[in-house]
Copies of this chain bind each other. A is one copy, B any other.
């Protein structure tokens, strides 16, 4: 193994590098996160966010994509870096530094599956988490904060919704993430004024009531804008 050297020419040992990924979705009007159950070892049967070690000469983003694909059957989602956690005690097996990523998905468009790597995989409510391995509870809390603030000043909600959606659905996503109710008229006024969304000609009718207009996001790429 090739080591980096310091200025005195001595080899140095540095921690292992891992990536861990928070995958959020809003399901049944609740903010959920995709968790896996660990197969064996010191953390057997504890829940955790999916992750793994980074290979040398592999970028962090590539490592995150590879691990999600290999271990959770999840492909082609947009990942954003959250933060890096490096406390020497965060993993009792030895010092590793975890670069956390977060992603938002619409659960209808996306099918995680258990693999040989994990004992189980499931969506869990973010506000009623099971006992978590490592420092993953802390990472999730941090990610939730980030998600809340990004929802307020960017258009990333698009990643949580299907292409077409009603304004009621959009509002529910905001309410689930922010944990508070919003005023219907002001919300609808705002998202149209700032051109976050635009109306289609299509409508959707679910029950015995007035059909709802379907909307699409004006842009489906990350963009900074004041929503709330």
**Chain A residues in the interface with B (C-beta under 8 A):** 1-4, 6-7, 12-18, 39-40, 52-60, 81, 83-84, 86-88, 93-97, 99, 116-117
- 6 A-B pairs whose Cβ atoms sit less than 8 Å apart in the complex: A12-B53, A13-B55, A15-B17, A17-B86, A57-B95, A58-B88
Give A95 to B63 CA distance when docked, in angstroms: 14
| Residue from A4, A39, A116 with most neighbouring chain B CB atoms (10 Å) | A4
For the complex, give the distance between the alpha carbons of A190 and B4 in Å: 50
How many protomers of this protein does the assembly include?
A: 2
On whether the beta carbons of A13 and B56 are closer than 8 Å, the reply is yes
Q: How far is the CB of A25 from chain B (nearest CB, A)?
A: 25
Q: Find chain B residues with CB under 8 A from A4 CB.
A: 16, 18, 53, 93-94, 96
Question: In the complex, what residues of B have CB within 8 A of residue A58's CB?
Answer: 88
A87 to B53, CA, bound (A): 15
Considering the chains assembled together, what is the distance between the CA atoms of A28 and B95 in angstroms? 43
The interface residues of chain A, by DSSP majority, are classed as loop
Given contacts A3-B16, A13-B56, A17-B86, 5 further A-B contacts (CB under 8 A): A4-B93, A14-B17, A14-B54, A59-B88, A86-B99
In the complex, what residue of chain B is closest to A224 when comparing beta carbons? B149
Q: 7 tightest A-B contacts by CB?
A: A60-B86, A14-B17, A57-B88, A4-B16, A84-B84, A14-B16, A56-B95
Nearest CB to that of A71 among chain B residues? B7
Inter-chain contact B86/A56, CB cutoff 8 Å: no
